[in-house]
Each structure stands twice: as structure tokens, then as C-alpha cells.
Amino acid sequence: MGAKRKTQSPARSGGGPRRAADSADRAYRAIRQWIIEFKLKPEERINELHLAAKLALSRTPVREALNRLASEGFLVFAPNRGFFCRSLDVTDLVGVYEMRLILERGAFELACKRASDAAIAAFARFWAGAQRRWRRRDPDELLNLDEAFHRQLVELSANREIARQLAAVDARIRFVRRISIERAEMQARMAEEHGALVAALADRNAARGGRILAQHIALSAEGARNVLKEVLFRLYVAPPAAESAPAAAAATARSQAA
């Protein structure tokens, strides 16, 4: 009788690289969220073994995720020492806000040239509906609405690279924006300036929109210092959350792997 031929499952043979990529992406998304929410503290050294165990992953996808986060500015890498969360620095924070302004101004100018009348009208309807929710003055909802407003505005530029870069910038300052938006005067000013941006876009007036964005986004060194003081208070003085970030994310990662 001839020897039995061994067969190989197509799903199993082709699943290795894809599974590895999925694991690296899950690690990236979980660790990135911890950094955005400052669950991993500024200047904290990243313990790869600890993260791998919490995420129920090997070190390889975790290392891939850390390298990606370092390339995006969320982490810094020190030779012979490993990865660290970025420090909180006034100059860095002002620089990130300046980058955000450059990206959004460019996107607004392109939107004035490229967006259809129908797309601009849909954007105006979105903001009209959002204003009703804005009046509830819930900081978490206001932050989500603000992010959605600027995301949709940038999408009207039809430039996916600007949208991708801005998403990375916004993630780095999300915690700072969340704290700033708690102030009533900030909530009222943002709503007024959002409306002015919608009107400038409807008129396809890039110059006016650029001036409004400069006022809307600009952060002075003094403003950055004040915001960072509040951030540091929240991180090191205010009561911690009941559930640790790694434990919560580990549960999410395990459910996604199932």
C-alpha cells in the first residue's frame, strides 16, 4: 500500500502571518488607549513582559506595537533602556497644538475647494443636530462631539493623509482637551466658533476659516502650563479609577481573541 499523504489545512497554513498581524494590532490599540487616557503615566518605563502577560500575548506582537507607537510619537525609545511614555512638557504640548492648527487649516482650505455643496450642507446639518446635545454640557459627550466635528471637517478635504496625521495628533492631546472642555466658558466659545466655521465653509472662505481656526485651536505657553498643572493633579492627586487599565484591556483583548 502506498504511504498516506499528509494534508495541510489551508486555513491553518495561511493563518500564521495574519494572526500575528491581528495580535500586533490588538496590542497596539490596547496600549495606545492606555497612553491616551494616561493610564500609563508620563515617563513611565514600559515593561514588555508585564504587558504581554496582561494582554495574553507573546512579546513579539507587543514589541511591534511599541515600535509603532514610538514612530507615532506616543512613546520614546532609549537604547539599552527600552520604551518610555513621553514626558509632559510645555514646549511639546504647544508644538502638538501648532501641528494640529497647520493640519486643520490646510484641510479647511482644501475643503473650500473640493467639498460639494451637498457635503457642506450635510456637515451643517450635523452641527445643527449636535448643538442640541451640546446644551447638555456633559464633558464626555462634548469631547466626542468636538472630535466628530473636526473629523468630519477634515474629511471634507478629501485628503486621507491629513486625516490620518490629525487622528494621531488628536490622540496625543485627548486627555488635555477633555480637561479643558469642562470649563463653561470654553464650552460656549467652542460652540460659537464651530458655528462660525460652518458659515465660513458654506461661503468657501478659506481665509476667514483659517483665522477662526487659529483662535479656536491656538494654545499659548501659559495656557499649556495651566493645563498641564491640572493634568498632573488628575494623574497623581485625584483618586484613581476603580479598575486598572491593564486589567480592563486584558479582558477586552481576550474577548477579541476568542
Cα separation of the two ends of the chain? 42
Locate cell 493610564: which residue? Answer: 39
Residues of the chain predicted below pLDDT 50: 1-2, 4-14, 242-258
Beta carbons of 148 and 193 less than 8 angstroms apart: no
Output the pLDDT for position 33. 86
Output the pLDDT for position 15. 54
Please tell me the distance from the alpha carbon of residue 93 to that of residue 231, in angstroms, as a whole number: 12
Domains of the chain with bracketed CATH: 16-87+238-257 (1.10.10.10), 90-219 (1.20.120.530)
**Residue of 227, 232, 226 lying closest to 176 (CA atoms):** 227
> What are 40's three cell numbers?
500609563
- 152-175 pLDDT, tens digit per residue, is 999 999 999 999 999 989 888 888
- 13-47 pLDDT, tens digit per residue, is 445 666 777 899 999 999 988 988 888 888 899 99
Helix (H) or strand (E) run with residue 77 in it:
strand 75-78
Determine phi and psi for 88, rounding to 5 degrees.
-90, 115
Which DSSP symbol is given to 111? H
Percentage of the residues of the chain whose pLDDT score is greater than 70? 84
Q: Which residues pair with 82 in a beta bridge?
A: 78
Output the pLDDT for position 145. 93
